[in-house]
Amino acid sequence: MSDATTPTVHDEVRIEAVPSEVWKLVSDIGLPARLSPELQRTAWLDGATGPELGARFEGFNRHPVAGEWRSVSHVVALEPERCFGWAVTKDEADDPATAVAIWTFELHPEDGGTRLSFAARVWPERTKLGAMMDGAPEKAQEILAARLGELGAGIGATLQGVKKLAEEAAA
């Protein structure tokens, strides 16, 4: 999963709040659903009540072209106040090593505040997106660019939402 050619989209923002305050927000799996145009809701699975390595949660998504779907995510990176990441799989039986996407928040202390980055790595060949690209090879790069643009817009909206909430709490 570390292929340098894997499509990735990311953004970052400076937040006028300490990492511990930002961490409270980004480690809450419900937060992206509040801020994302695509992710509608999440819930911990297997009795988990919070993030820990290996914990799983389900996400319910909606997209105007792809419709609605459920995914299962596995927490694959967890370093309190530094990094929180999850691998999205197609269903509960999937291994995180065959993820369709990996999402990661990284927090960096910076002059009394926090630099927060949010990134997504995607494997289109494992999703409907790959099938769309295969069905229209002459437009494959355009289809991928459009999807990465959508993901980037969602990442930007999430970062701005985290910034607003963290700075309001810090004020």
Q: What is the pLDDT of residues 108-160, one digit of tens each?
A: 999 999 999 999 998 767 666 666 666 777 877 887 788 889 889 999 999 99
- Three-state DSSP at 95 gives coil
Q: How many CA atoms lie within 13 A of 170 on its CB side?
A: 20
Quickly tell me which residue has 């607003």 as its tokens. Answer: 164
pLDDT of residue 4: 54
Handedness of CA 38, 44, 50, 54 (dihedral sign): negative
What are the C-alpha distances in Å from 1 to residues 11, 101, 122?
21, 10, 10
Q: Topology of domain 8-170, per CATH?
A: Alpha-D-Glucose-1,6-Bisphosphate; Chain A, domain 4 (3.30.530)
In the chain, where are the structural domains located? 8-170
